[in-house]
Amino acid sequence: MRLHDVLDYQARERPTAEFAVQGNRRLTYREALREVHQLAHALGGAGLQIGDRVAILAKNRLESLLLYFAASKTGVVPVPLNYRLAPPEWAYILQDAQVRLLKRVLREPYWTGHQRRVAGA
């Protein structure tokens, strides 16, 4: 069973049940699944293929959680980056993991397209 299979199942069985809450934002399983599908489509549209690595520079936010589900759905491998690390540490991780795409989820919502191809990918 893959991570996104759990969400698919819950969205079928309990579509209006609460999936997650952050601040004033509440998502049902149905809403979460819809957002995960949009994100997965965006990842696929970025030219990523199964097994490619996507670095995720994020704080603990709802959008980050959804991005992990979308990565599972598209078959890409998420590589978490701690936002407290220094840029040289990020560079080492990106190179070592052979990351193809960097997705940033800090202040801006994920859907604003803050992503960057990693040099050489």
User: What pLDDT sits at residue 58?
Assistant: 85
Domain positions in the chain are 3-117
φ, ψ for residue 40, nearest 5 deg: -60, -40
Q: Are 54 and 99 in contact (CB under 8 A)?
A: yes
Q: Point out the least confidently predicted range of 7-16, 37-46, 71-80, 106-115.
A: 106-115
From the list 61, 69, 40, the residue with the least C-alpha distance to 104 is 61
pLDDT above 80 (res 40): yes
User: Is residue 42 pLDDT above 80, yes or no?
Assistant: yes
**Band of residue 103 on the pLDDT scale cut at 50, 70, 90:** confident
Report the sign of the C-alpha dihedral through residues 66, 68, 69, 73, in that order. Answer: positive
- pLDDT band, very low/low/confident/very high, at 114 (cuts 50, 70, 90): very low
Query: What's the CATH architecture for 3-117?
Result: 3-Layer(aba) Sandwich (3.40)
| Maximum CA extent, the chain | 45
Pairing of strands 77-82, 115-117: unpaired
Given the structure tokens 């803050």, which residue do they identify? 114
Dig out the tokens for 37 from the structure: 């599908």
pLDDT on residue 88: 92
For residue 121, the model assigns a pLDDT of: 45
Q: What kind and span of H or E run contains 78?
A: strand 77-82
C-alpha pair distances (Å), 47 with each of 8, 52, 54:
24, 10, 12
Average pLDDT, the chain: 86
Percent over 90 (pLDDT), the chain? 64
Provide mean pLDDT across the span 69-87.
93
Query: Is the backbone of residue 56 left (phi > 0), alpha (psi -120 to 50) or beta?
Result: beta
